[in-house]
Amino acid sequence: MTITDPNPAQSADTSAPLLEVENLQVEFRTREGVARAVNGISYTVQEGQTLAVLGESGSGKSVTAQAIMGIVDSPPGYVTGGAVRFRGTDLLSLPEEERRPYRGEQIAMIFQDALSALNPVFPVGWQIGEMFRVHRGTSRSESRKKAIELMDRVRIPGAAARAGDFPHQFSGGMRQRIMIAMAIALDPAVLIADEPTTALDVTVQAQVMNLLAELQAESRMGLILITHDLGVVADVADDIVVMYAGRAMEQAPVDAIYARPAHPYTKGLLESIPRVDLKGKELSAIKGLPPSLLNIPPGCEFQPRCPYATPLCVAERPPLREVAPGRYASCHYAEEVLNEQR
Ligand code: SF4
- pLDDT tens readout for residues 97-148: 999 989 888 999 998 777 778 899 999 999 999 999 988 899 999 999 999 9
Residue from 244, 249, 296, 302 whose mutation best tests the ligand 1 pocket (most atoms within 8 A of CB): 302
How close is the Cα of 175 to the center of ligand 1, in Å? 41
Phi first, then psi, for residue 175 (nearest 5°) are: -65, -40
Percent of the chain with pLDDT over 90: 65
Spatial distance between the Cα atoms of 262 and 267, rounded to a whole number of angstroms: 7
- Can you list the alpha helix ranges (DSSP code H) found in the chain? 61-69, 96-99, 114-117, 124-136, 140-153, 159-162, 172-184, 202-219, 230-233, 254-259, 264-271, 311-315, 334-339
Angle at 2 between CA 126 and CA 13, to 5 degrees: 100
Centroid of ligand 1 to alpha carbon of 300 (angstroms):
6
| Distance in angstroms (rounded) separating the CA atoms of residues 1 and 3 | 6
What's the 69 CA to ligand 1 centre distance in angstroms? 32
Atom of ligand 1 nearest to the CA of 306: 1
SS3 content of the chain, % helix, strand, coil (to 5): 35, 25, 40
| Res. 5: pLDDT tops 60 | no
Asked if residue 301 has pLDDT above 70, the reply is yes
DSSP 115: H
pLDDT at 332: 97
Q: Is 220 left (phi over 0), alpha (psi -120 to 50) or beta?
A: left
- Residue 332 Cα: closest atom of ligand 1: 5
User: What's the rounded Cα separation, in Å, for the pair 267 and 244?
Assistant: 13
Residue 313 CB less than 6 A away from ligand 1: yes
pLDDT score for 192: 95
The residue nearest atom 5 of ligand 1, judged by CA position, is 331
Count other C-beta atoms under 10 Å from residue 170's C-beta: 19
pLDDT value of position 6:
41
With cut-offs at 50, 70 and 90, classify the pLDDT of residue 275: low
- Whether the predicted pLDDT of 240 surpasses 70: yes
Q: Quick check: helix, strand or coil at residue 288?
A: coil
Average pLDDT over residues 211-237: 87
Instruction: Find out whether the beta carbon of 221 lies less than 6 Å from any atom of ligand 1.
Output: no
Work out which ligand 1 atom sits closest to the CA atom of 300. 4
Q: How far apart are CA 127 and CA 122, in angstroms?
A: 7
Instruction: Give the model's pLDDT for residue 222.
Output: 95
Q: What is the pLDDT of residue 231?
A: 77
d(CA 91, CA 284): 42
pLDDT of 9 strictly over 60: no
pLDDT at 35 over 60: yes
Whole-number Å distance, alpha carbon 242 to ligand 1 midpoint, is 14
Closest Cα to atom 3, ligand 1: which residue? 331
What percent of the chain lies above the pLDDT cut of 70? 93
**Ligand 1 neighbourhood includes 179 CB (under 6 angstroms):** no
Task: Write the CA distances from 145 to 4, 139, 185, 316, 334, integer angstroms.
Answer: 22, 10, 12, 59, 54
pTM for the whole structure: 0.89
Nearest-atom number in ligand 1 for the CA of 249 is 6
Number of other CB atoms surrounding residue 312 within 10 Å: 13
| Ligand 1 atom closest to 314 (CA) | 7
Lowest mean pLDDT among 4-13, 91-100, 161-170, 192-201: 4-13
Which H or E element spans position 19? strand 19-30
pLDDT in tens, 175-209: 988 999 999 999 899 999 998 887 777 778 888 88
Residue 327 CB less than 6 A away from ligand 1 = no
**Residues linked to residue 241 through DSSP beta bridges, in sequence order:** 53, 251
